[in-house]
Amino acid sequence: MTPAPAHTFTAVGPVSARIDIGARADIWVAATSRSEVTVDVTPRDPSRALDVRAAETTAVTFEHGRLAVTLKHWRRESLFSDGGAVVVAVEVPIGTTLDLYSGMGNLTADGEFGDATLATGMGEVHLGTSAGIRIKSGAGDISVDRATGPVDLATGSGTISAGELEGTGRIKNGNGETTVGTIVGTLEIKASNGNIVVAHLDGEVSARSANGSIRVMEAARGSLNATTTTGSIRVGVRPGTAAWLDLASKQGQVRNQLAAADAPADTSDSVRITARSGYGDVLLQRSTEEG
């Protein structure tokens, strides 16, 4: 038996792509400028019968601008049967809406998409640029280049990295570091065990870590509510930005290196910072002093 051949469909503009693979699957999707959809499903190991069977039984359909690639959630026939593993490679037009699921495996979506939902039981997830995003991994790293709409990112264990987030939403990390390049919208970040790092704040952020430090390299505008049970808090305020501060630490030093004269009397940029640490230092300084 041989795996199903690649599929090619004609598309007029962005489509809706739903890829639901209940078995182990690595899924790769690329958004291109071409007016077509291509799908290729192959066994992860061509010499393994279970993988070949999984590829052969994966259904591919395209109707009325909707792509569906599905493999029913497998049942273990015995303790020694895992249902097989496949690799799914898809190309779609730019702006396509994504809904990807893998029982276990890595998910990669390169390019520009509409709203995107990606979930895997265990594996790494990468998404390029999209509108709203919803990403979940039971255990694995998550990375996003840019999102312009609502945000919902969660991993049980792994790093979370996002370039620019413009919408409203949340990030939840059970175990691992969370880093965000630029926050323009309103975001809640929670980490049970791990550091939180934000490069540039231009929105509203609530950051909480039970065990880990919180660092904001440059706060330009908006507000920051930072809380950590065990860990330090360090914030750099951009020169020329007025800052309203409420700082405290139960077991640690609180240092405010912002001189009153640093804030100009007539400025349209301001940031409100509330920082609370149970066991750790709190440091406020100008972003030009960040080391």
Q: In terms of domains, do 154 and 291 share one? A: yes
**DSSP 8-state class, residue 4:** P
Does residue 291 share a domain with residue 157?
A: yes
Stated pTM of the model: 0.92
The last residue of one of the domains, among 101, 119, 137, is 119
Domain count across the chain = 2
Give me the tens of pLDDT residue by residue for the chain, a chain 291 residues long.
444 458 999 999 999 999 999 889 999 999 999 999 999 999 999 999 999 999 999 999 999 999 999 997 655 444 455 778 999 999 999 999 999 999 999 999 999 999 999 999 999 999 999 999 999 999 999 999 999 999 999 999 999 999 999 999 999 999 999 999 999 999 999 999 999 999 999 999 999 999 999 999 999 999 999 999 999 999 999 998 999 999 999 999 999 998 654 545 456 789 999 999 999 999 999 997 555
What is residue 54's three-state secondary structure?
A: helix
Same-domain status, 159 and 108: no
44 with 114, same domain: the answer is: yes
List Cβ neighbours of 263 (8 Å cut-off, separation of 6 or more): 241, 242, 243
Q: Are residues 100 and 210 in the same domain?
A: no
Q: Please name the residue that has the structure tokens 């990390």.
A: 173
Domain that holds residue 44: 1-119
User: For residues 26 and 58, what is the distance between their CA atoms, to the nearest angstrom?
Assistant: 13
Assigned domain for 29 exists: yes
Distance CA 92, CA 67 (A): 9
* Residue where a domain terminates, one of 119, 139, 172: 119
